[in-house]
Chains A and B, each alone.
Chain A
Amino acid sequence: MLSVLGMLFDGIAYGMLLFLMSVGLSVTLGMMNFVNLAHCSFAMLGGYVTVTLMNDAGWPFFATLPIAFVAAAAASVVLERVFFRRFYHAGELPQCLLTIGIVFVSIAAAAYIYGTDQQPVQLPDYLQGSLHLMGLDFAVYRLVLIAIALAITVLLVVTVEATRFGAKVRAAVNNQRMARGLGIDVDTLFAVTFALGSGLAGLGGALAIAMLGLDPSFALTYLIYVLIVVAVGGLGSIAGSFAAAMLLGVADLAGKYYIPAFGSILIYVVMLAMIMVRPTGLFGRR
């Protein structure tokens, strides 16, 4: 399916995965200025949870998704309590060193437990095959993926834009000092937001394996993409992350389809161009 529409469709499905895997990082980075390079390790954890439950315990694919979310969220809470909160005021370099260390530990741990091979994923029959619509083939799994990601996006936007919890998150992202001065417990708010964001990454990782594959290098490979989404989308902006993820998904696939020799460089060109035009990101305010 190399038509432009087909490529767009695949790019959007891919972009949805990138959005789920990066939106949490965008919000927590915006709130606490904490640079968590291990964000994709939570996505990878979600992927391995789903693979293990399906292949070893015979769980249905959909039943594994909430567990992938919870496992990633729980792991992030433990790391936040034990390591991260000691580094909130430590500056960016110590934060990067700490979290990149966690990335390498997670890669080593995954390789130790699962080996370095791609994990086999057997999707249920009803998620395989494709639908014929308007003369085009749409892979069922990618349609489902887009639907799930859209539903989560709507839920996320409603939570952030229309609830008091969301208003507190936006207030803390906007001005942490004032938020504290009005009685908002920013540390607890951050811990909760951090857990939710990591859970979303875990869910994204679980949904990603059938499309992107899963091996221990996942935590590093997709970190690059996630950082691009955050940089282009603007810190703390959900709309920005969404737009950036779509742009990146489509641009990356387009590059790889149409100009394979140059394809993997294209996204970096797009990113540089974006950052030069809008240094604060697509929707960024700072």
Chain B
Amino acid sequence: MTEPLLSLRDVRAGYGAGIVLDGISFDLPARGSLAVLGRNGVGKSTLILTLMGYTQIARGRIVWRGADITGQPPHRRARAGIGWVAQEREIFATLSVEENLTVAARDGSWTLAAVYDLFPRLAERRRNLGNQLSGGEQQMLAIARALMTNPALLLLDEPLEGLAPIVVEELAAAIRRMTEQGEGAFILVEQHADIALSLTRSALVLERGRIVHSGPSAQLLADPAALDRLIGLRLAEA
């Protein structure tokens, strides 16, 4: 049998004494893709931060390629193959675009040429400092920077948040291309449920730190009533 790339077993985690996530369990196979949905403040980012090692884990285990990484510090997890695109992008403002890409790069199929090919805009801006970019460009850089570490699992925390519709389309297309050609798995947190579901194989929905639904993405996408009940469709709100 093939062992999952990542599995969470009954994870309870939060910040200091404050528990945010409780009883989180799921498996992600190698090359798998998972959408994490839910309203604001339900713990989606906390789940990503827990996978990276930035929260306190009160109970449960995180297993990566068969090894327990529950207590490992973030830089070890990154080196073990987990790539992170933070919700706030967190571009290094005092580094050039190219330095942002190379500062933590590790060998693999994602090279400078490959990410410039995926995001031609970054090639044009390579000499600019991180703080001279537009929101969309910063998001491209955050994704490209994580790709340059050649992760086996990419964590994307609301990569489309706050971007103009045209940029959303451009980025979604890039993510689609990336996931089609990529060898790796990814977890996509997204408010745009339709886009997230169309990009992934499976999905889970969080509600106040617990998993309230999990199943194939296509199934959820085809059931607008369930979607509306679980997260409230964005279109319905607007």
A285 interface residue, CB < 8 Å from B?
Answer: yes
Does A173 lie within 8 Å of B94, measured CB to CB? yes
Query: Is B73 located at the chain interface by the 8 A CB criterion?
Result: yes
**B84 at the A interface (CB under 8 A):** yes
Contact status B90-A164, CB under 8 Å: no
Known: A170-B92, A170-B95, A173-B94. A164 touches B86 (CB 8 A): no
B75 touches A167 (CB 8 A): no
Q: How far is the CB of B87 from chain A (nearest CB, A)?
A: 12
| CB contact list, B12-66 vs A, under 8 A | 52, 54
B74 near A180 with CB under 8 A, answer yes
Report whether A175 and B90 are in contact in the complex, using a CB–CB cutoff of 8 Å. yes
Q: How many residues of A contact B (CB 8 A)?
A: 19
How long is the Cα–Cα vector from A184 to B95 in the complex, in angstroms?
15
Interface residues of A in 164-197 (CB under 8 A from B): 164, 167-168, 170-171, 173-175, 177-186
B218 to chain A, nearest CB (A): 31
- Within B82-126, which residues are at the interface with A (CB < 8 Å)? 84, 86, 90, 92-95, 99-100, 102-104, 106
Is B79 an interface position by the 8 A CB rule?
yes
Distance of A179 Cα from B92 Cα, bound (Å): 9
**Given A171-B104, A177-B54, A177-B90, A182 contacting B84 (CB threshold 8 A):** yes
CB-based contact B84/A181 at 8 Å: yes
Q: Nearest B residue to A170 by beta-carbon distance?
A: B94
**Closest chain A residue, CB of each to CB of B52:** A181
How many angstroms from the CA of A177 to the CA of B92 in the assembled complex?
A: 11
Pairwise interchain contact A171-B74, C-beta atoms closer than 8 A: no
Look across to chain A and name the residue whose beta carbon is closest to the beta carbon of B104.
A182
Query: Which residue of chain B has the shortest Cβ distance to A185 in the bound complex?
Result: B75
Within the complex, which residue of B86, B90, B106 is in contact with A183, where a contact is CB–CB below 8 Å?
Answer: B106
Closest CB pairs A-B (n = 10):
A183-B78, A182-B104, A178-B90, A180-B74, A183-B79, A167-B103, A181-B84, A174-B92, A180-B75, A171-B92
